[in-house]
Amino acid sequence: MLLVAMALASCDQGEVFKQPAESAKDFVARIQQEGSELNKEVSAAYWVRNTYIIPDTAILATKAGERALAFESSMVKQAKAFKGTDMDAVTARAIELMLRGSAAPAPNDPALRSEMSRIMTEMEGQYGAGRYCNELGECLELQELEAVLAKSRNYEELLDVWRGWRSVSPPYRKQYQRFVEIANQGANDFGYENLADLWQGGYDMESESFVLESRRLWNQVKPFYEELHCYVRNRLGDTYGVDKVPADGLIPAHLLGNMWSQTWDNIYDIAEPYEGVASLDVTEALVEQGYDEIEMTKAAEAFFTSLGLPPLPDSFYVNSMLVKPRDRSVVCHASAWDIDNGNDPRIKQCVEINEEQFGTLHHELGHIYYYLMYKDQPSVFKGGAHDGFHEAIGDTIQLSMTPGYLKQKGLIGETVDSYEATINKQMKMALQKIAFLPFGKMIDEWRWQVFSGEIAPEDYNAGWWKLREEYQGIAPPIARSEADFDAGAKYHIPGNTPYTRYFLSFIMQFQFHKALCDIAGFDGPLHECSIYDNKVAGKKLGDLLTMGQSKPWPDAMEAMTGQRGMDGSAIIDYFSPLNDWLIKENQGNQCGW
SS3 string, 124-152, reads HHHHHCCEEECCCCCEEEHHHHHHHHHHC
Spot the catalytic one: 229, 367, 386, 390.
367
Question: Closest Cα partner for 494 from 8, 196, 119, 186?
Answer: 119
Which pLDDT value is given to residue 278? 75
Q: What is the pTM of this model?
A: 0.90
Taking CA atoms, 492 is separated from 124, 253, 316, 386, 585, in Å, by: 9, 19, 25, 18, 36
Residues of the chain with pLDDT under 50: 1-18
Give dist(CA 28, CA 75) in Å, integer.
10
Residue 570: which of 434, 372, 412 has the closest Cα?
Answer: 434
Told to judge if 293 belongs to the known catalytic residues of this protein, a careful annotator would answer: no
527 is known as an active-site residue: no
Is residue 352 flagged as an active site residue? no
Q: What is the pLDDT of residue 3?
A: 38
Strand partners, 336: 347
Could you confirm whether 254 is annotated as catalytic?
no
Catalytic residue among 492, 513, 532, 570: 492
Determine if residue 522 is left, alpha or beta; phi over 0 gives left, psi from -120 to 50 gives alpha, anything else beta: beta
Q: Which of 229, 363, 513, 527 is catalytic?
A: 363
| pLDDT value of residue 20 | 53
CA distance 209 to 378: 29
- The reply to whether 127 belongs to the active site is no
Alpha carbon distance 52, 41 (integer Å): 16
Which residues face 133 on adjacent strands?
Answer: 139
Q: List residues bridging with 474 in a β-sheet.
A: 251
Q: Count CB-CB contacts under 10 A for residue 153.
A: 13
Choose, from 61, 104, 278, 333, the residue flagged as catalytic.
333
Report the alpha-carbon distance of residue 134 to residue 159 in Å, rounded: 12
- Catalytic one of 192, 268, 370, 502: 502
Q: Residues 82, 21: contact at Cβ < 8 Å?
A: no
CB of 331 closer than 8 Å to CB of 348 = yes
Instruction: Output the CA angle 298-304-307, nearest 5 degrees.
Output: 140
- ∠ CA 432-438-444 to the nearest 5 degrees? 120
Active-site position among 81, 92, 299, 334: 334
Active site residue 46: no
Q: Active site residue: 301, 364, 369, 435, which one?
A: 364
185 three-class SS: helix
> Which of 115, 122, 352, 391 is flagged as catalytic?
391
The two beta strands, 251-252 and 139-141, are: unpaired
Beta bridge partners of 252: 475
How does DSSP assign 317-384, residue by residue? Answer: HHH-B-S--SSS----S-EEEETTTTSSEEEE----SSHHHHHHHHHHHHHHHHHHHTTTS-GGG-S-
List the one residue out of 10, 12, 23, 35 whose CA is nearest residue 338: 35
